[in-house]
Structures are given as structure tokens and as C-alpha cells.
Structure 1
């Protein structure tokens, strides 16, 4: 059975990751010839899928432990976390995802999962700065829902000592998106008025805290039951969307990060100043179709040259430098992951169903 994490949060806002990148070479399955190169005792458990559909299409299989490239690290996974990115891959939602993971069905050998935290077991000959026994966190494009995973060194950082493995595994995808959306795409600066739509979800809880560390005045948008949570993260003002339409606040904000994706561009531009910036992350509301959440970003790119306000999508780029930056903030207690629930490894499909319903507040962690 699932167990509540510290704080036991539940809630209604959901996050979305902007785009599905090309998956890295996946762990092998028993049908791959390379399995014969592994001893039987090197087998591990992993969640794979051989057809597209809801999280129930996932199956727990015995597969061979992955080999590592010269620039990779083999991490014994201690915890993972789930993202909308994961259930979208399971269902090939949007259809564009099929270009990288398989047109009619998933390519053989793919393992689901991105975020992870664990212990270094082996390192490639080109790896520097990490060694067996180090506790690390980071992400892969696919493969973290397994007992071990091969991770490029440039997608890992040493785990902050004050964090549990579950907390550390909840950082990479959501915090990378929040950080790069605010700093790189939004060009945030001290003294700006920033609004985060979807402030109580995985990306949103990081975005509120990060915007405060950059010296901004932050307004969070969430439902009634999440108001106190968002305040506790440092928000200067909280809009309860069940009582007020934040898009009616004309000309108030220098930067708006839209995580939910349930409003038109015209409405999202309203609360911005004449030279304000709109950062589009995606949204749980964009399901199915060819482009999914990317459709809103495409519309924004087409509109932006013709208006005074800047409209940009998040250009997600997971990297160790940003993970180290985030780790430094967490060590100084300026940034803390919010965990809604923790599920055991055996219940990953149930965890994906939960996050797909859109009621997760903060992150949903997996423990091994």
C-alpha cells in the first residue's frame, strides 16, 4: 500500500513537462542478444511496456543490468519519482512521441521513468568526479523505473546530505523546468512581479521557491485547499482560482509562468505588463492529438513576433551544472522538494494513475 510522505499533502494542481526528448539507449530485455553477455545474477527488475495505453500496460520484468558507456555511471536506484511525462510516454500522448519511442508500439527494451536518486555502483573510464559509493540524483530520458540504470555523468550531481533519496529523486525534471523557465527563458530579475499559474504542483512548488531566491515578488495561483501550502513556500500573494480569475488582473506582472495550460494566449497576456514575459511550460489539460502541450508553445512562437510582450516556451536542458546549483540551494534550505505521496516500486502503475488524475500536490515519489 502507498504511504504518505512527511506532510501528507494532497491536492488538485498538476504539472506538465514541455516536450519528450529522444530517449537514450535503453536497458536490454530478455529478447535482446546483448542479454547473453550478462550473467544470470546480473538480472534486475524493471517496468517496461509493449503496447501504448494507460499505466496498466506496464509490466514488471526481469531484464539484464545495463552496460555503461565510457561517460556513464551505473546507479543502483534507491528512489524515483513520477511525472506527467511518464504516463504520456506510456500512452504515446501526444502522438508525436511515437517518432522517438516507436510508431505502432514501444521499441523493444524501453524502460519507463526519468527522475532518480541512488548510489553509484560503477563508473565509465571517462567519468571524473564520481566514484562507487557516491549518493547521487538526476535524470535520464527513459529507464529510471528499474533497480539500476546507466546515467550520463552530465545528468547527475551529488545528493545533498540533508535530503532523503525520495526527496532527491523528486527534484530533477520539475526543478530543471522551473529553473530554466524562470532564469533562461523568463530572464527573471530581482524586484520583478512574477505570477506562477499551477503553483502547488511539482514544477510550481519549485518555481515559487526559486522565484523568491531570485528576489522576485511572487504570486501563486492554486485551488482553495492549496493556498496555505503555496504561502508556506514563500509566495507573497496567492490567488484562489475558484474565487478569482487571475487573468482579470490587467497589467500587474512582469513575468508569468503558465504550467497548467488551460487558458488562451490572449487571456494569459492580460495580466502582463506591456513589456512582460509569458513562459509556457505545458499543461495537463492538453491531452491527445499530434502535439499535446507543444501546441500552445507553437502558437506562442507564432504570436510573439507581432506583440510587444515576449512569449516563449521552456527549452528543457537537464545538466549537472544546474543540478549542482539546485543542490546548493537545498543544502542552504532555500529550496525544498514537496512530496505528496510515496509509493513502493511495485505500485508504479498506481502512482501514475494518481498523478494522471491531476490531484497531486508537489511530487509523487517511488521508493525501492
Structure 2
């Protein structure tokens, strides 16, 4: 969920100072980018955290190019799984993986199967079906990489569907995931779980804004709320069933 901004796009202020749902917030100029006129305020508000997280997630999976060349290097994955693919981060991850030229399998709820296919996913799984719960690709491919945007999925669910040297980039890591990542690192395991922490980068935000300006990356807005109804917006966000982004709009109240 993000506040709607007007002229500038900025990463969320440091967590120590907050300001996520304020009418005014201070952000470092080094992390602020002018919003292109072709990019709406709602799109601009959604890119800095969600799209940046998806971009850094794919880079952690060894994807270095998004020009359709297959990831940009010999170590880039070919078959990628994106979990919670209809959500805020997930719907960007699917699009970016397809821009890289990867084969994408995605999970989501039954009502969003068509939506995720429309984003470009090659195969889509309903996570509530037996196949979806097992994360099993309909074509039987093993995943070289996983852009994990969901919560509560144990490593045991990933292990059977991963290629020998696969990487799972987890944007919502808990204590168990962090511990497993450390253990895999010290034991030199080939299959690796990588806990993700967003590190704001101005050049990435400029690139995402330009991709949006060109129409190559789209932001899907699930719903909009005025600031006076921010409590409702948070409640919907916490439910975890939004399709795309939830936006809180500043300015005129309904």
C-alpha cells in the first residue's frame, strides 16, 4: 500500500522516522526522482517500494538484463517461479521476468488466474489446488529460481521442484528462513534461500519510471482510499488478497 504523490517519486522514508501515511514527509534528495508526465501519480506512488523490490529480487536471482535476451548472462535462470503473483510485488516480478525473456510459472488465487496470465505468465497455478500447493509446474519443469512473494511457505515445499543449483529470493523472510539461509551458506549448499532487504537505489527507480513511461511495465491499482479511510486501506492490505496495489490518496476527501 502506498500514498499517492504528485510530482516526485521517492522511496519510503527511513523506518526510524516513519511518515508513510502523512500528508507531508521528508525524503533524501538522493532517493527522489521526478515523475515523468506520462506516469500517473498512483503509478508513481506504487513503483518505489513494490516495483523496486521485484527488480532487486530478480537481480538477486542473477538476472542482469531485461531486454528479452534471457536474463543477460549464462548464469541467469531460464525457468522462474513467482509466488503470490497477483499481489503488489508479485505482479511486477512476473512482468520483469518476462521482460528478461524467462519462462514464468506463477501462483495466485483462482479469481486471478486470468489476470496473471495477462501479465505474461506462461503457466499459472491456483495455490489452493493440490498441484498449486506443491508448486508443481504443469509442464513438469524444475525451477532455476523462485521470486517468493508470499508468506508461510516452508523450504520443504520448494525442495522437490527446484533445479540442482536453484535460488529462492524471499521478500518476506522470517526467523526460520534467515536461519536456513545462514546454514546453507556455511555448508556450501547448491540450493540457496536468499532473504531480501530492499536497498533503495535512485538509478533503479529512474529505470522503472522510464519503463512505465514506455508502457513496458504497468501498475495495477486494486483500490484507492482517501486519507480519512486509511484504516480501511490497511485492513484490506493485511488481508493479503489485493490484486495489484492499494493506494491512499492525499488531497480532497470523498
Query: Mapping of 1:1-368 within 5 angstroms?
Result: 81-82=1-2, 117-118=5-6, 135-139=7-11, 140-141=13-14, 142-183=18-59, 185-188=60-63, 190=70, 192-243=78-129, 244=131, 245-249=133-137, 252-282=142-172, 293-306=174-187, 307-368=189-250
C-alpha separation between the residues in 1 aligned to 2:136 and 2:164? 15
* Pair 308,208 (structure 1): closer, same or farther in 2 beyond 3 Å: same
Equivalent pair of 2:54/2:89 in contact (CA under 8 Å): yes
C-alpha separation between the residues in 2 aligned to 1:258 and 1:314? 10
Larger Rg: 1
SS class of match (1:170): helix
C-alpha separation between the residues in 1 aligned to 2:134 and 2:216? 27
Equivalent pair of 1:265/1:300 in contact (CA under 8 Å): no
Q: CA RMSD in A?
A: 1.9
Normalising by structure 2, report the TM-score.
0.84
Normalising by structure 1, report the TM-score.
0.59
Equivalent pair of 1:253/1:276 in contact (CA under 8 Å): yes
C-alpha displacement of 1:211: 0.8
C-alpha separation between the residues in 1 aligned to 2:150 and 2:141? 20
C-alpha displacement of 1:248: 4.0
C-alpha separation between the residues in 1 aligned to 2:4 and 2:200? 13
SS class of match (2:81): strand
Equivalent pair of 1:269/1:278 in contact (CA under 8 Å): no
SS class of match (2:25): strand
* Pair 246,328 (structure 1): closer, same or farther in 2 beyond 3 Å: farther
Tell me the matched-pair count.
Answer: 230
Equivalent pair of 2:4/2:248 in contact (CA under 8 Å): no
Find the counterpart in structure 1 of residue 74 from structure 2. Answer: none
**Structure 1 unaligned spans of 5+:** 1-80, 83-114, 119-134, 284-292
As a proportion of its length, which structure holds more strand? 1
Equivalent pair of 2:52/2:204 in contact (CA under 8 Å): yes
C-alpha separation between the residues in 2 aligned to 1:359 and 1:227? 13
C-alpha displacement of 1:138: 1.7
SS class of match (1:218): strand
C-alpha separation between the residues in 1 aligned to 2:50 and 2:165? 27
Q: What are the superposed Cα offsets for residues 82-111 of structure 1, whole Å, 9 maximum, x if unpaired? A: 4xxxxxxxxxxxxxxxxxxxxxxxxxxxxx
C-alpha displacement of 1:297: 2.8
Which structure has the higher relative contact order (CA within 8 Å, separation 6+)?
A: 1
C-alpha displacement of 1:247: 3.2
C-alpha separation between the residues in 2 aligned to 1:247 and 1:221? 8
C-alpha displacement of 1:304: 4.0
Q: What are the superposed Cα offsets for residues 147-183 of structure 1, whole Å, 9 maximum, x if unpaired? A: 2221101221121322221221111111111100111
C-alpha separation between the residues in 2 aligned to 1:295 and 1:116? 35
Q: What are the superposed Cα offsets for residues 256-276 of structure 1, whole Å, 9 maximum, x if unpaired? A: 111112221122122111011
